[in-house]
Amino acid sequence: MSHPLVDQLRFTRSEWLRGLEGVTAAEAARRFEPMNSIAWIIGHLAWQEQAYWLQRAQGVTLSAVAERCGNGQPASTPPLDEAWAAWRQVTAAADAYRDALTPEALLTKWEREPTTEGPGTKLLRTTYHYWFHLGEAQAIRQLLGHTNLPSFVGDISQAPYRPER
């Protein structure tokens, strides 16, 4: 069984997917400055997952698309299908790593981590980052004229509280 914080991130990502259902490629490419496009946001979250859970934790880089959407990179709008492909590839690999994390491992700093934060804090930061950008994406969808957007938080029974073992 995975750590409760890993399960919370999984639930957060399911809400992320639910919040972006029905967004077209043209809509995902639209930019309302100073905000980025939805396609960029998808690539950006892939970048964060790759940076933490693949590069820093394991020394692996899978996606160049994700790298184009990292902090400090020039503004870009990857095609929606490429952004989702990068996100899916990176998150699948990150999940495989995170599923094996123990409470002790969450307290152990990675060799390649430039900050004092350990994996447990990175797990929290990743989860909160998704919620931040989900709100931004919903604002963009409203600017695009979308109505009847999902209300948050959804079915929390899919990720109830459970204590760490």
pLDDT tens digits along 76-123: 899 999 999 999 999 999 999 999 999 999 999 999 999 899 999 999
Sketch out the chain's domains with CATH numbers. 4-148 (1.20.120.450)
Q: What is the 3-state secondary structure (H, E, C) of the chain?
A: CCCHHHHHHHHHHHHHHHHHCCCCHHHHHCCCCCCCCHHHHHHHHHHHHHHHHHHHHHCCCCCHHHHHCCCCCCCCCCCHHHHHHHHHHHHHHHHHHHCCCCCCHHHCCCCCCCCCCCHHHHHHHHHHHHHHHHHHHHHHHHHCCCCCCCCCCCCHHHCCCCCCC
What are the pLDDT digits (tens) for 143-157? 999 999 988 788 888
pTM of the model: 0.94
CB 153 within 8 A of CB 130: no
What are 19's two structure tokens? 């919040």
- State mean pLDDT over 51-77: 93
Does residue 165 register a pLDDT over 80? Answer: no
